[in-house]
Amino acid sequence: MVQTPGEEAANPADDPTYQHFVRLIVHSEPAIRRFIRSLMPSEVGVDDLVQETALESWQKFSHFLSTRTEEKEEEEFLRWALTIARFKVMSWQRNRNRDRMVFREEVIEALAETAAASEPEWKEELAAVESCLQSLPPAQRRLLLAVHRSGDSVSRIATETGTPQRKLYAQLYALRRILLDCVQSRLRGPLAHE
């Protein structure tokens, strides 16, 4: 996953700095990925940007090490990496604003702020989605999962099942709304009734 530019060590795995970096990046990678996706109009390009961010983080890792405070290293690293990610996303979209629908710079700025702030809640959110998903009838649950599985798409499922796309989207949106409502109410749930 990370292409090290390390020159000193013949085998980078032996480099303690590199091992340090790997530990941090492995821990942060899912959050970086979610953050990048939040600033992108679709999945397209997200993988590449995660790679680029990781690479640049490694290239500038010594700078990070010189400025960090010891205590909350993981949190600090993530914050730092997200800043790098944000610039990567901006330049990616700047380079493509002629040939496809991308976000304007001011949109990315606005989204970045909100997206970074909500990151710490991810685990709770995921748990809430999972339990809300369990409360759906099995058929609806399977439909939702099938549609969101990487590599699958509504249009493919529509074609293969002979369902009009419009209809499938309408079902999908209704199900997502229900789920979102459930997740929101779970996250705001009462103190006394966990």
Partner 1 sequence: MNKQNRQFDDRIWQAIDQRLSAEQWEQFQDELVNNLQFRDAYLKALRLTQALTELANTIGTSSELDSTKLADVAREIHRSPTHNTSRRYSWVPACLAAVAAIVLLWLAGSWLLPWSGRAGTEPAPFASTSPAEQETMLSGHAVLNRSVNVPWSEADAIYFPGDVLPGGEFHLPGGVIELDMFCGARVTVEGPATLVFLSDWVLEVRQGRLKATVPPVARGFTVQAADRRIVDLGTEFAVLVEPDGASVSVLDGEVELHSVGDPPRLLRQGDRWNLAGANTDDELVQSIEELEAALADGTRQALAREAAWEAASRTVEEDPRLIAYFPIARVYRDGQHGFSAAGPAAGSIEALLVGPVRSDWNRFGTQRTALEFQRLGARIRTHIPGEFSALTLACWARIDGLNNRYNALFMADGYENGEPHWQVRDDGRLMFSVMVDDSQKIEFFNERDQRVVRDAGLHRVYFTEPILDVSLQGKWLHLAASYDPTNRIVRQFVNGKIVSEHTIEPKFLVRQLRIGNAEIGNWGQPFRKTSWFAIRNLHGAIDELAIYGAALSPEEIAAIFEASKPAAY
CB of 47 to partner 1, least distance (A): 13
Q: Which residues contact 92 (CB under 8 A, 6 or more apart)?
A: 40, 45, 48, 49
By rule CB under 8 A, what string of x and - marks binding of each residue 127-156 to partner 1?
--xx--x--xx-xx-xxxxx-xxx---x--
User: What ranges make up the beta strands (E) of 19-164?
Assistant: none
> Which x/- pattern over 32-71 shows residues binding partner 1 (rule: CB under 8 A)?
--x--xx--xx-----------------------------
User: Quick one: which segment of 21-29, 55-63, 86-94, 99-107 binds partner 1 (CB under 8 A)?
Assistant: 99-107
**CB atoms inside a 10 Å sphere around CB 183:** 20
| C-alpha span between 92 and 88 (Å, rounded) | 6
Q: What is the largest CA-CA distance in the chain?
A: 59
Min dist CB 12 to partner 1, Å, is 29
- Using only C-alpha atoms, what is the Rg of the chain? 20
> How far, rounded to the nearest angstrom, does the alpha carbon of residue 182 sit from its chain's CA centroid?
22
Single residue of 27, 79, 87, 173 touching partner 1 by CB under 8 A: 173
Work out whether 31 is an interface residue with partner 1 (CB under 8 A). Answer: no
Identify whether the C-beta of residue 65 lies closer than 8 Å to the C-beta of residue 49.
no
Question: What is the binding site for partner 1 (CB under 8 A)?
Answer: 34, 37-38, 41-42, 101, 103-104, 106-107, 110-111, 114-115, 118, 122, 125-126, 129-130, 133, 136-137, 139-140, 142-146, 148-150, 154, 157, 160-163, 167-181, 183-186, 188-193
